[in-house]
Amino acid sequence: MSTNNIGNSRPNSEGISDQLQQVILNSIREILPDRMIEQTCKEVGYRFRRRKITPVVTVLHMVMAAIWPEESFNACWQVLWDTFISWFPQLSGQCPSRGRVAEARGRLPLQLWQRLFEQLSDKAQSLSEAYDKWKGHRVVLADGTCVSMSAEPELVEAFGVSTGYHGRGRYPLARLVTLCLAGTMTIIDYAIGGYRSGESSLTFGILKSLRKGDLLLADRHFAAAHFYTLYRSIGLEFLTRAHQCLNISKVKRHLCYSADDFIGRLNINKIYRRRDPSLPGWIEVRFIKARLRIRNRHQVVWFVTSLLDAKRYPAQEVVDLYARRWRIETLFREIKINLSADILRSRSPDGVRKEIIARLAALNVVRSIILEAAAAAKMEDPLRISFVHTVRAIISFSAALSRVPLALVPEVYHAMLLEIAWHVNPERPGRVEPRAVCREHKHYPSLKMTRTQWRAKHA
């Protein structure tokens, strides 16, 4: 392990910016080194003056804001600065204001965050190579979710709000779609759109980031004959549930492996063929029937896949593989709850996009450290390692990695990896949890206006 990126026996004396850079989140500086951030600034053409808050400090500040328990940029910055002053008390009284810190975040261009994410994704995929295969295919999960933000008019216009049975929503929502590896839950790519953007259309824009031979697992939003044709045209295999409108009994069977496992042809609707004349008239796929117990009910489920060889891909193994699709719901919980992306703090469209990408980058940083810990402990399944404890360890070990002598940095870093690998979640196959809360909320009415409007009316 290189020791050029993390830890230093004595702080740099060139200025407060260099000293501040030395003490922030040193437990992740092997995954996200200074040279990566500075080189990325050059690649995207971002030129900056030497200030207290450098691009390195700003990037690490936003990553720490994602993993810090308090859901606030300001709270995270206060912790960083107070820690810095505890080591360099002679520099007290020089803390940048909240406005200056916000300006530093705003100065970083969106392209910088996009490029940083790409590099972190490549590193996470490289670390995942020992865990991401199923019968020679990388298994990739695709799905989408929504994140909320403040009710600024600019954000409402950029992203839109929900409308439904209960009326128009009060807060704008951004739609986020991700592609992630099922074996390690590292994010390969993402797409951000407005609330009205479709998950499938956002996903099609990022499928180019996958490799030929990857196996895409998705739900019925991504199940249609013209979708299947698109997946095959770019070299992807696929496995989805059959669309709810598809009548399986009308599908002509060309090759039967059993009554519940056959190959048939799906006709492509003429509407899509008129839009895209290059589409064929049909596509050959495999149908597999399974009887599953879902939420205490026995249901008959049909799966559609491009894995046509029944000897290489037995039907039961294909059905069992589809169960991994639910892992992406855990990924969204980690992004929205553990990394505080459920309600975003930024007040501009680009600020919201940067905040989302920073949290996705933070997740890949945490997952990369988990993969290093699994390799150090020679574990076969890195997903058994606790994500929450890994975040705690990253925060806890940062101080020691900033202050120990340089010769001891590898030893402390290795100790962190072993502690992370030691905390393993119990195996819970077939786990089912209710979508309900145990404790009711306080008996206060909902606030139907802004706090400023309430004060003007009642104060």
18 vs 107, more confident: 107
pLDDT above 70 as % of the chain: 95
Q: State the average pLDDT over residues 271-280.
A: 90
CB-based contact 387:364 (threshold 8 Å): no
How many angstroms separate the CA atoms of 113 and 116, rounded?
Answer: 5
Lowest mean pLDDT among 84-98, 166-180, 319-333: 84-98
Would you call 139 helix, strand, or coil by DSSP?
strand
pLDDT at 83: 86
**Residue 217, strand partner residues:** 141, 239
pLDDT surpassing 80 at residue 428: no
CB-based contact 192:176 (threshold 8 Å): yes
What letter does residue 165 receive in the DSSP assignment? T
pLDDT at 426: 86
427 vs 283, more confident: 283
* First-to-last C-alpha distance (Å) of the chain: 60
pLDDT at 429: 72
Task: Tell me how far CA of residue 121 lies from CA of 48, 81, 179, 321, 396, in angstroms.
Answer: 25, 29, 11, 24, 25
CB-based contact 244:219 (threshold 8 Å): no
Which of the listed ranges 88-92, 250-254, 333-337 does the model predict with the highest average pLDDT? Answer: 333-337
Burial pattern 177-194, b for ≥16 Cβ within 10 A else e, equals bbbbbbbbbbbbbbbbbb
pLDDT surpassing 50 at residue 41: yes
Would you call 303 helix, strand, or coil by DSSP?
strand
Tens-place pLDDT, residues 385-410: 999 999 999 999 998 898 888 899 99
pLDDT at 8: 42
CB-based contact 234:279 (threshold 8 Å): no
pLDDT at 31: 95
For 11-60, give the secondary structure using H, E and C. CCCCCHHHHHHCCCCHHHCCCCCHHHHHHHHHHCCCCCCCCCCCHHHHHH
Q: What is the Cβ-side half-sphere exposure of residue 38, based on CA atoms within 13 angstroms?
A: 9
Tens-place pLDDT, residues 255-268: 999 989 999 999 99
pLDDT surpassing 70 at residue 6: no
Q: State the average pLDDT over residues 281-300.
A: 87
Would you call 104 helix, strand, or coil by DSSP?
helix
pLDDT at 5: 47
Tens-place pLDDT, residues 186-201: 999 999 999 999 999 9
Residue 94 banded pLDDT, cuts 50, 70, 90: confident
What letter does residue 213 receive in the DSSP assignment? T
pLDDT surpassing 70 at residue 2: no
How many angstroms separate the CA atoms of 328 and 222, rounded?
Answer: 15
Q: State the average pLDDT over residues 44-52.
A: 85
Q: List, in order, residues 6 or more apart from 13 with CB less than 8 Å away.
A: 19
Q: What are phi and psi of 258, to 5 degrees?
A: -165, 180
The token pair at 340 is 């505080």
How many angstroms separate the CA atoms of 238 and 179, rounded?
Answer: 13
Say which residue the tokens 């069992």 belong to. Answer: 320
Residue 15 banded pLDDT, cuts 50, 70, 90: low
pLDDT surpassing 80 at residue 17: no
pLDDT at 376: 95
How many angstroms separate the CA atoms of 117 and 122, rounded?
Answer: 9
Residue 444 banded pLDDT, cuts 50, 70, 90: confident
pLDDT at 12: 39
- Nearest in space to 61 (alpha carbons), one of 22, 24, 7: 24
pLDDT surpassing 70 at residue 221: yes
pLDDT at 144: 95
71 vs 66, more confident: 66
The token pair at 457 is 């009316």
pLDDT surpassing 50 at residue 58: yes
431 vs 10, more confident: 431
Q: What is the Cβ-side half-sphere exposure of residue 66, based on CA atoms within 13 angstroms?
A: 25
Lowest mean pLDDT among 54-68, 149-163, 290-304: 290-304
Q: Give the dihedral sign, CA 224/228/233/238.
A: positive
Q: State the average pLDDT over residues 202-217.
A: 96
Average pLDDT, whole number, for the chain?
Answer: 90
pTM of the predicted model over 0.95: no
pLDDT at 452: 85
Q: State the average pLDDT over residues 131-157.
A: 95
Say which residue the tokens 């988990």 belong to. Answer: 370
Tens-place pLDDT, residues 24-38: 888 999 999 999 999
**CA 130 from centroid of its chain's CA atoms:** 20
Say which residue the tokens 């879902």 belong to. Answer: 294
CB atoms within 10 A of CB 431: 8
Q: What are phi and psi of 114, to 5 degrees?
A: -65, -45
Would you call 99 helix, strand, or coil by DSSP?
helix
CB atoms within 10 A of CB 448: 8
DSSP tally for the chain: helices H, then strands E: 16, 11
What letter does residue 385 receive in the DSSP assignment? B
pLDDT at 25: 82
pLDDT at 321: 95
Would you call 216 helix, strand, or coil by DSSP?
strand
pLDDT surpassing 70 at residue 7: no
Would you call 257 helix, strand, or coil by DSSP?
strand
Q: What is the Cβ-side half-sphere exposure of residue 6, based on CA atoms within 13 angstroms?
A: 25
Q: State the average pLDDT over residues 36-58.
A: 90
Radius of gyration of the chain (CA): 25
Q: State the average pLDDT over residues 202-213.
A: 95
pLDDT at 403: 84
- Nearest in space to 366 (alpha carbons), one of 336, 396, 387, 342: 387
